[in-house]
């Protein structure tokens, strides 16, 4: 008979190997030696009576049986973790770990969700990744590698997942003040593309929104500089000779460079929903349920829209 503790360790090692695609990296992720990990997976294969791993001089992939069984292994481990959280919560209150994926565009506002959540549940540890795409996050939730994600839900296959809208974000132009001499209020896309632009990479949803808006005006843009970091966009605007288009919510957490100006971009404006996505397979972990409840009861949309200093034609100088 298989000892339950050993079985769960074997499944953890197997899932780690499927994720890392490398024996040494999987062993390091599990804090065990490579021989120990390899032997545990071989024992799991003997107990299940099917080969799980294609072996040569190094890891060569999972067998067809392994590809099917790793889905069950992820689900079993997720349910085991949820069971442990439930038992501990009944004894001492909610605890455990929340694995949260966040798109870069929402990294500046996610604290509106995680701060009240952590205040309500001080024993829960939040492990956040903020460099993922919406598609990556959705896929990792399906694979039980993340508990929840803050994403652009539009254009994503969220069938079978729970989607809780958080807020709508509008993009604005941020540029060195000298680039906008004589301009005030708003700016149209034909004028935007004439500026020296630095933008997000084309593969990122925030960039796709910009390209879609330009397409409605039969315009295209070929920025000299592209990046996957909103912070890098701010840094280049600080140099004085660059302009960028960013989600307006970033202006709540990252003060624009001295002398920079912000204009609303119109005809069309670029607005997108940001939402919390979680799995719905029962039983849903108590930590995930608690995060969804925080999302429903916290007025994130109102906080995002609450006016600060007007940014429509604001110039940000030194204090």
Residue 278 pLDDT > 90, yes or no? Answer: yes
The pLDDT confidence band at residue 163, using thresholds 50, 70 and 90, is: very high
Enumerate domains of the chain plus CATH numbers: 8-77 (1.10.10.10), 97-302 (3.40.190.290)
Average pLDDT of the chain to the nearest whole number? 85
Q: What is the pLDDT of residues 44-87, one digit of tens each?
A: 888 888 888 888 777 888 888 888 888 888 888 777 777 776 66
Q: Which has more confidence, 169 or 252?
A: 169
Report the interhelical angle of 4-20 vs 23-30 (nearest 10°).
130
The pLDDT confidence band at residue 181, using thresholds 50, 70 and 90, is: confident
pLDDT at 316: 44
What lies within 8 Å, CB to CB, of 257 at 6+ separation is 176, 234, 237, 238, 316
pLDDT at 77: 78
pLDDT at 8: 83
- What average pLDDT does this structure show over 239-247? 92
Q: What is the pLDDT of residues 104-162, one digit of tens each?
A: 889 889 999 999 999 998 889 999 998 888 999 999 998 888 999 999 999 899 988 99
Percent residues over pLDDT 70 in the chain = 90
């Amino acid at each position: 008979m298989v000892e339950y503790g050993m079985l769960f360790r074997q499944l953890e090692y197997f899932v780690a190997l499927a994720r890392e695609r490398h024996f040494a990296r999987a062993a390091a992720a599990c804090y065990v030696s490579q021989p120990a990990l390899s032997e545990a997976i071989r024992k799991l294969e003997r107990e299940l009576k099917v080969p799980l791993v294609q072996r040569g001089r190094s890891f060569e992939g999972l067998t067809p049986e392994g590809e099917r069984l790793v889905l069950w292994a992820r689900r079993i481990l997720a349910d085991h973790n949820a069971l442990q959280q439930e038992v501990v919560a009944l004894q001492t209150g909610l605890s455990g770990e929340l694995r949260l994926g966040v798109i870069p565009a929402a990294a500046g506002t996610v604290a509106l969700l995680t701060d009240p959540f952590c205040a309500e549940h001080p024993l829960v540890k939040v492990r956040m990744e903020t460099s993922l795409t919406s598609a990556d996050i959705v896929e990792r939730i399906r694979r039980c590698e993340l508990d929840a994600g803050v994403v652009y839900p539009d254009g994503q296959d969220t069938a079978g997942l729970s989607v809780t809208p958080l807020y709508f974000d509008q993009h604005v132009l941020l540029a060195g003040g000298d680039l906008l001499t004589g301009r005030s209020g708003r700016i149209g896309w034909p004028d935007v593309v004439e500026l020296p632009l630095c933008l997000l990479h084309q593969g990122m949803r925030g960039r796709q929104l910009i390209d879609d808006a330009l397409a409605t005006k039969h315009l295209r843009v070929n920025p000299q500089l592209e990046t996957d970091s909103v912070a890098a966009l701010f840094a280049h605007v600080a140099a004085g000779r660059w302009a960028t288009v960013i989600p307006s919510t970033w202006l709540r957490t990252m003060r624009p460079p001295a002398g920079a100006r912000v204009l609303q971009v119109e005809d069309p404006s670029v607005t997108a929903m940001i939402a919390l996505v979680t799995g719905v397979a029962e039983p849903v972990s108590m930590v995930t349920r608690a995060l969804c409840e925080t999302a429903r009861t916290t007025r994130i949309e109102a906080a995002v829209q609450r006016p600060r200093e007007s940014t429509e034609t604001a110039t940000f100088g030194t204090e």
